[in-house]
Amino acid sequence: MASRKHRVVIVGGGFGGLAAAKALDGADAEVVLIDRRNHHLFQPLLYQVATAALSPSEVAWPIRHLLRRQKNVRVLMATVVGIDTAGRAVLLEDGTSERYDSLVLATGAQHAYFGHDAWEAFAPGLKTVEDATAIRRKLLLALEAAERETDAERRKALLTFAIIGAGPTGVEMAGAIIELAHASIRGQFNTLSTGDLRVVLIEGGERVLANFVPELSAYTLDALRRKGVEVELGQSVTDIDGEGVSFGESRIETKTIIWAAGVAASPVAKWLGVDGDRAGRVKVEPDLSVPSLPGVYVIGDVASISRYDGKPVPGVAPAAKQAGRHVAKVIRARIDGRSEVLPFHYKHDGDLATIGKSSAVIDFGWIKLKGWFAWWIWGLAHIYFLVETRTRIFITLSWLWIYLTGQRGSRLITHGDAHKTRPLDEVNEE
């Protein structure tokens, strides 16, 4: 019998899955990367799509395109519905399956509403391109509706924007929304007053950017307030509906609420028949394999990995990429028949977050930066990390244009349904 090639199936084309596929370039294996979407998404800049600064094709690229030069990989656009761990096959929605010798699960996280799933309808989160264009539509429609509203109270509610959760996404959204709204009201909605505008950032913990050092959290809080963002700390949200959000003793009337508070892992634990942690993540061995399932690896936001210092590996892009590259090394060792355990060591390069134009915070550990200099470093770092030359050029130009003219390039209100224009009011209520 002719020996057949080692077959690696990777589920998920995010930072982790893509890094694993790339690091297997040239390996003596047949690699299959499965994703239910055709594109890899550069999540760190997705909030800029939601706030009309960038267009979707500037932060997302077809996975096939990114892997086009790699001979040993096949890209499959398909939805995974389960895993047959005994038969070593990934089950697809269309009834077919993909056999594996090694399996890498890198399916990432979704928003989680802590048991309040009904809130999702009123407070969308930001994970996909569609989420971003839906939030963009909500933001721009609120301004349009405010322009037509004759009742002063209702107009104020339309000009109030609430963001829940003050991690990097919440902070970046709050800063970008207040800038978008200010620029729009001044430039295009002459009948509206910036005095009616409220952007409220609600956080359950005692500081913003809790994963940064307190000094940078304090700077960020101050920078947000100087921009006009109201920051409510130590406030747990108790209710969200179509008219506003309640927290602690307070209530804010608003038509636009954005959820940046929590995520849960995709259902990998269920697929594998193992226990997940509270956030649904799978606890893995030091080499990222799943206990008692040899050849099955879990990486990225869906994995629970402890560092040697006892801290968990954070759910950020660099961690997913490092884990993807590591798992490729482990699989190459398997293919070569080597059986030593290769433990994963996470190297934390630093934390970055932008607060708005000319304001950002960076913590590289050995140096901490804030203000306009950090903002420029932030921009350059993100352009550097983009995976494609064309996008580097286009995003640089988009940012330069906004910087020089203040005009955001992508303020389109588009709907999902083709052939049908949904009326304004109906859209507002969705």
Which residue type occupies 239? D
> Could you please report the per-residue DSSP string of 230-269?
EEE-S--EEEEETTEEEETTEEEE-SEEEE-S-EEE-THH
Go through the chain and tell me how many residues it has. Answer: 430
- Catalytic site residue from 30, 98, 172, 232: 172
Among 191, 193, 250, 306, binds its own copies (CB under 8 A): 191
Tokens of 66: 């990114």
Is 197 within 8 Å of 185 (Cβ atoms)?
yes
* Cα–Cα distance measured from residue 370 to residue 368, given in angstroms and rounded to the nearest whole number: 7
Q: Name which of 110 and 236 has its Cβ closer to its own copies.
A: 110
- Residue 397 in the binding site for its own copies (CB under 8 A): yes
Specify the residue, 210 or 393, whose C-beta has the smaller distance to its own copies. Answer: 393
For residues 77 to 106, the per-residue mask of contacts with its own copies, x marking binding by CB under 8 A and - elsewhere, is xxx-------------xx-x----------
Find the shortest distance in angstroms from Cβ 420 to its own copies.
Answer: 8
Judged by CB under 8 A, which of 85, 128, 246, 358 binds its own copies?
128
| 187 is an interface residue for its own copies by CB under 8 A | yes
**Which of 131, 179, 301, 351 is in the footprint of its own copies by CB under 8 A?**
131
Helices (H), 1-61: 15-23, 46-50
**CA 293 – CA 304 distance, rounded (Å):** 16
Q: Which stretch binds its own copies (CB under 8 A): 22-30, 74-82, 262-270, 302-310?
A: 74-82
Is 172 considered catalytic here? yes
Buried-exposed string 272-291: b where 16+ CB fall within 10 A, e elsewhere: bebebeeebbbbbbebbbbe
Stretch that binds its own copies, among 19-27, 73-81, 151-159, 272-280 (CB under 8 A): 73-81
Provide, rounded to whole angstroms, the least separation between the CB of residue 23 and its own copies. 20
Strands 263-265 and 109-111, how do they pair?
antiparallel
Q: Residues 278, 310, 419, 429: which binds its own copies (CB under 8 A)?
A: 419
Closest among 323, 330, 386, 231 to 19, alpha carbons compared: 323
**Contact set with its own copies (CB under 8 A):** 36-39, 55-58, 60-62, 64-65, 68, 74-79, 93-94, 96, 120, 124-125, 128-131, 133-135, 140-141, 144, 147-148, 187-191, 390, 393-394, 397, 401, 405, 407, 409-419, 421, 423-425
